[in-house]
Amino acid sequence: MNQQHSDCILTIDMGTGAVRIFAFDLNGAVIGSMKGSYPTFHREPDYSEQDPEQVFITVLYVLKNLLNERIHPGGHKVIAICFSGAMHSVLPVDKKGIPLGNAITWSDNRGKREAQALKGTASGKAIYDATGTPIHPMSPLIKISWMKHHDKERFDHTARFLSLKSYIIQQLTGEHIIDYSLASATGLFNIHTFTWEQAALDHAGIGAGKLPDLVPVFYSKPRLRREYQTSLGLAPDTKIIAGASDGALATLGAGVWGEGKATITIEQSGAVRVVGNKVLKDQQQRFFNYVLTENYYVSGGPTNNGGVIFEWFAKEFGAFRKAFDLDDSMDQLILEASRIPAGSDGMLFLPYLLGERAPIWNANARGVYFGLNMQHSRQHFIRATIEGILYEIYSIGKTLEEHRAIHTLSINGSFTAYPFWAQMISDIFDKPVQVKDNSDSIGLGAFLLTATEMGIYKSLEEAARVVDIPTMYRPDKNDHEVYMRYYKVFERLSSKLLEDFEEIAGLQG
Amino acid sequence: MNSYLLQQGRSKELELFPHIIEFGSKKIQTIQFNSFPVEKTAWLRAYYVLDGRYDWIIDGMSRILYPGDLALILPEQSFGGARELLDIGAFFWIALDMNRSYLSTLESRSIQKILLLNDSPVIAGFKEGGHILQLIGRELSGQEIGFQTRINHLTDTLLILIARQLTKQNNSQRDFPRTFMKLEQELRDNLSHQWTVEEMAALVGLGTTAFTEKVKSFTGFSPISYLINIRISEAIKLLKRTDINLTDVALDTGFYSSQHFSTTFKKLTGYTPSQFRKNNTDNL
C-alpha cells in the first residue's frame, strides 16, 4: 500500500441527537464510521436542551474508538478533520469559556412569544431579508432575545453565545469560531455581506463581540491542542476545517447543485431544499436562505411533521406484539397501507400535530383526519397518515417551484429509505426520485468540502458532480392525478381551518 | 370467604414469619362508615380487590380500584378510604417488612428501587398477584407440611411479580427512547451509586442481554460506557465550576477512587483531572 492510499479524512457531524464520524479515503470511499448518541432534555414543556459536556465527551469517545479500532490499526493517517453541526443551537459561556448551563437546541420553543411579536413588524421583515432565517423560536436571534427578557442573570454573565459546534471546536482547538454556513442559521448573520447583522444584534441586545468569530467554511487554521494530539494519536499538522451546517452539507453530499434539482430530507422532521447562487426572495417569508459558501445558498422550507408523525401513529395504533419493536411495527403498517389505493379512497390527513413551519408557519395548526365514511377501515388511516405527511412536504416543494424549476428529486433520511414512501414521493411530485442515506450525505458533503479545500476538486460544483446516485423511482401518472385531486382539498383545508386551529390550540392550553 | 386478620405479635400463625406484619381478608356486606381513616403506614402494603369498587386515597391521591386490581402502598405513605368509609365488596391484603425478605441483597435493592420510582400505585388486572395472596392465606391457615418454606417463597414471589409488573407498566417497550430517557435521569440523579448492568436493566424491565443490545443500538455505546460518559461529563462540570477536591469529584460522580477517576479521565480526554482543571481556570 503506498502512502497516498493510507491518507484519510475524518468528518465529524454533531447532529440533533447523535454524533456520527466517518473516515474517507481520498477517493471518497468510506473506510469506517461510528456513532454515539446524546439525549435532549425537556425540563419544561417548550424547552429542548443538551448538555454540552456530554456532547463533547461523546464526540471524544466515538472519535477515540473509531481511531483505535479502525484507523490506526488499518495504517491510515488522518490528514484532515472537517466539522458539521445541527443548526440553531445556542450555548452561553462565561469569560473563561465555561458553559452557563445547557445548550438550547433547534426544537426549543420557549421564545414563541418573542418570535410572534417580531414577526409581523417591519423590522422583523428587514431582519429576515438580511439574515435569511425565518423569524421563529428555533432561531438563536429569538433565543438570545428570550434570555435577555426572562433569564437576565445568565444573559448578563454571558461572555459569548456559542453554537454547540463552536463549543466542541473550541474544546479541541482553543478557537472560538463559527463558519458562515452555521452562522447563517442564527438569524444574526447578514447573508449578503457575510458579517453580523447590526439590526439583529440590536434586537437581541448584544454586540458582535458576544458571538464567535466568523470564518469561511474552508477555514483551516485551527490545530488540535497538544493533549488531544497525544491522546488521540493524531499528527500536529492535522488540518482542522471549520465546515458547515448539517443541512448545507447534506445538500452538497446529495449532489444537489445548480438548476433543476431539489433535495427532500425526512427524519423526525423534514425539509425541502434547493441550491443556487441567488437568495430566494419570498414576500411571505416562507423560506430559509442559508449559506453554503460565499457563492452558494441553500434555500428551502422545513416541516415539523415528518417521520415523527408516523412514529406517533405506530406507537399509538401499531400492531401490538409481545416483544414490541417500533421498526417492526412500521414495516407492518406500511405493508397494510400498500393494500389501499392511492388517495386512501377519500380519507385525508393534515399532519400538523406539532404545529407547522413551512409553508403555513402556524404553531397552532393541529392534526385532522377528514372525509371519513363507513367504508373506511383501519388500513385507510395508515395510508392517509403517510399521504398527509407527504402532501405537507409537497406543499413546501410546490411553493419552492414558484421560484425555481425542479426536475429531479434527491431524497434522504430514514423514512425515505422505505420504498413505499420513495415511490409515493415520486408519484405526488410527478418527478423521478433518487435515494441517498442522510447521515451518509452529510458525511460525504463534509468530505467533498474538505477535498475541495485540499485541491482534489477545483470547486464545490465539480465536487457535487462526483455524487452519483442512480434514479430509482419513476412517477406513476395515474396515481399522480389521484393525489392532485386530493391535494387541492388538503391545501384548502390547511388555510380554511386557520380560525379553528387557533381556537382548538387555545382550548388545549 | 370470611373476614379475618392476622397480626405479627398477636397471631401465632405469624410466629414463624417475622417479615409478615399483617395478613387479612375482609368481606363487607353493608357500607361501613368511619371505619377506614387515612393513616400513614410503616410497612409495604398490598391490597387485592376481589369484589366491589373502592375509592381509596393513596399518598394523597384518589384511586379507584376494581376487582382484579392491586393497590400498593409504600412505607411512609398515607392510605385510607375516601370519606373514610368502606364500600361493599371483598379484598385481601398483606403488610410486609421489606428488609426481612429472603431475596439476595442485590435483587432486593433493585426491587425496592423499582417500587420507590413507581408513581402509579394501582396495578390493574393483576390476577397473578391475587392468586399468590390467596395461596399465602391458604398456607397460613392450613399449615400443611412444608408451609414455612412455601410461604417464604410466595412472599418473595409476590414482590418479584409486583416489581416486574411495575417495570412493564412504567416502561413502554414501544418507546425505548422515552424509557432510556427516564433511565438517564435516574443515573444522573444517583451518579455516585455503583450501578451494575443488571440494576439498570431491571429498572427498565428488560433482561441484561436485551437491554445491552438495545442500548448499544440506540446510543452506540455499551451501558457501562454510556454511564462512564455521563460520569466524565459531570466530572468536567465539577472541575470547571468549583474548587471541591479531586477525591470528592471522583466519588460524587461514581468513581470508586481518585486513582480510578484519574485513569479513566486521562484515557478519554488526554488530560489528568488536575491538568484539566488548571487549563480551564487559568488561561482563556
B73 part of contact set with chain A, CB < 8 Å: no
B254 torsion bin: left (phi>0), alpha (psi -120 to 50), beta (else)? left
The torsion defined by the Cα of A34, A291, A194 and A452, in degrees rounded to 10, comes to 60
How far apart, in whole angstroms, are the C-alpha atoms of residue A266 and residue A303?
Answer: 9
B12 part of contact set with chain A, CB < 8 Å: no
- Same domain for A201 and A324? no
Q: Is the pLDDT of residue A468 over 90?
A: no
Q: Is the pLDDT of residue B284 over 50?
A: no
Inter-chain contact B176–A326, Cβ cutoff 8 Å? Answer: yes
Number of domains chain A contains: 2
B262 part of contact set with chain A, CB < 8 Å: no
- Same domain for A241 and A374? no
Give the model's pLDDT for residue B279.
80
A376 with A343: CB under 8 angstroms? no
Inter-chain contact A60–B275, Cβ cutoff 8 Å? Answer: no
| Rounded average pLDDT over A113-134 | 94
In B, minimum Cα distance to A52 occurs at: B233
Give the model's pLDDT for residue A324.
59
Which of A220-229, A252-261, B137-146, B228-237 has the least mean pLDDT?
A: A252-261
Q: Is the pLDDT of residue B266 over 60?
A: yes
Inter-chain contact A39–B271, Cβ cutoff 8 Å? Answer: no
Residues in chain B: 284
**β-strand pairing of A189-190 with A18-25:** unpaired
- Same domain for A355 and A491? yes
| Rounded average pLDDT over A446-455 | 97
- Same domain for A168 and A241? yes
Counted across chains A and B, CB pairs separated by less than 8 A come out at: 73
B181 part of contact set with chain A, CB < 8 Å: yes
- Same domain for A489 and A350? yes
Choosing from A247, A275, A293, the residue where a domain stops is A247
Q: Is the pLDDT of residue B154 over 80?
A: yes
Choosing from A195, A230, A247, the residue where a domain stops is A247
A255 part of contact set with chain B, CB < 8 Å: no
- Same domain for B177 and B163? no
- Same domain for A199 and A312? no
Average pLDDT, chain A: 93
| Rounded average pLDDT over B65-75 | 94
Confidence of residue A440 (pLDDT cuts 50, 70, 90): confident
CA dist A246 to A40, A446, B236, Å? 18, 9, 27
Query: A382-403 pLDDT, tens per residue?
Result: 999 999 999 999 999 999 999 9
- Same domain for A239 and A332? no
| Rounded average pLDDT over A104-131 | 93
Nearest CA-CA partner of A39 in A53, A22, A26:
A53
- Same domain for B129 and B118? yes
Torsions phi, psi for A379 (to 5 deg): -60, -35
- Same domain for B27 and B142? yes
Residue A421 belongs to some domain of the structure: no
> Domain of A59?
3-247
| Rounded average pLDDT over A152-166 | 97
Q: Is the pLDDT of residue A46 over 50?
A: yes
- Same domain for A166 and A21? yes
Inter-chain contact B271–A227, Cβ cutoff 8 Å? Answer: yes
Which of A79-83, A438-442, B99-103, B271-275 has the least mean pLDDT?
A: A438-442
* Cα dihedral sign, A301-A305-A307-A308: positive
How many helical (H) and strand (E) elements, i.e. helices and strands, does chain B have?
10, 10
| Rounded average pLDDT over B208-222 | 91
B92 with B137: CB under 8 angstroms? yes
- Same domain for B188 and B253? yes
Q: Is the pLDDT of residue A136 over 50?
A: yes
- Same domain for B177 and B134? no
The amino acid occupying position B48 is: Y
Inter-chain contact A60–B269, Cβ cutoff 8 Å? Answer: yes
**What CATH number corresponds to the domain at position B243?**
1.10.10.60
- Same domain for A212 and A98? yes
Q: Is the pLDDT of residue A114 over 50?
A: yes
Number of domains chain B contains: 2
> Domain of B59?
4-170
- Same domain for B157 and B263? no
Inter-chain contact B236–A53, Cβ cutoff 8 Å? Answer: yes
DSSP secondary structure letter of residue B83: G
Choosing from B135, B153, B170, the residue where a domain stops is B170
Q: Is the pLDDT of residue A414 over 70?
A: yes
- Same domain for A336 and A216? no
The amino acid occupying position B30 is: T
Residue A407 belongs to some domain of the structure: no
Name the more confident of A155 and A267: A155
**What CATH number corresponds to the domain at position B30?**
2.60.120.280
In A, minimum Cα distance to B177 occurs at: A39
| Rounded average pLDDT over B51-66 | 92
Q: Is the pLDDT of residue A132 over 80?
A: yes
- Same domain for A239 and A339? no
Confidence of residue B173 (pLDDT cuts 50, 70, 90): low
Give the model's pLDDT for residue A4.
47
Choosing from B170, B192, B222, the residue where a domain stops is B170
Residues of chain A with Cβ-Cβ distance to B218 below 8 Å are: 37
Confidence of residue B174 (pLDDT cuts 50, 70, 90): low
How far apart, in whole angstroms, are the C-alpha atoms of residue A225 and residue A230?
Answer: 9
Question: What are the cell numbers at B163?
Answer: 416489581
Per DSSP, the three-state class of A361 is coil
Residue A31 belongs to some domain of the structure: yes
Confidence of residue A2 (pLDDT cuts 50, 70, 90): very low
Torsions phi, psi for A426 (to 5 deg): -60, -45
User: A interface mutation test: which of B186, B233, B280 has the most A CBs within 10 A?
Assistant: B233
Residue A494 belongs to some domain of the structure: yes
A455 torsion bin: left (phi>0), alpha (psi -120 to 50), beta (else)? left
Question: Cell 385531486 maps to which residue?
Answer: A485
- Same domain for B29 and B86? yes
Inter-chain contact A36–B173, Cβ cutoff 8 Å? Answer: no
Give the model's pLDDT for residue A322.
47
Give the model's pLDDT for residue A255.
87
Q: Is the pLDDT of residue A191 over 70?
A: yes
- Same domain for B274 and B133? no
- Same domain for B200 and B150? no
Q: Is the pLDDT of residue B146 over 60?
A: yes
**What CATH number corresponds to the domain at position A55?**
3.30.420.40
From the CA of B272, how many Å to the nearest CA of chain A?
A: 10
- Same domain for B276 and B189? yes
From the CA of A266, how many Å to the nearest CA of chain B?
A: 19
Q: Which pairs from A369-378 meet CB under 8 Å and 24+ separation?
A: A370/A489, A370/A493, A371/A346, A371/A347, A371/A489, A372/A347, A373/A346, A375/A345, A376/A344, A376/A345, A376/A347, A378/A317, A378/A336
- Same domain for B165 and B200? no
| Rounded average pLDDT over B171-194 | 86
Nearest neighbour of B270 by CB, restricted to A228, A315, A324: A228
Choosing from B137, B170, B203, the residue where a domain stops is B170
DSSP secondary structure letter of residue A69: I
A192 with A127: CB under 8 angstroms? no
How far apart, in whole angstroms, are the C-alpha atoms of residue B80 and residue B38?
Answer: 4
Inter-chain contact B284–A60, Cβ cutoff 8 Å? Answer: no
A236 part of contact set with chain B, CB < 8 Å: no
Nearest CA-CA partner of A135 in A344, A284, A336:
A284
- Same domain for B214 and B158? no
Residue A470 belongs to some domain of the structure: no
- Same domain for A218 and A325? no
Choosing from A247, A266, A299, the residue where a domain stops is A247
DSSP letters along B142-178, please? H--TTHHHHHHHHHHHHHHHHHHHHHHHHS-TT-HHH
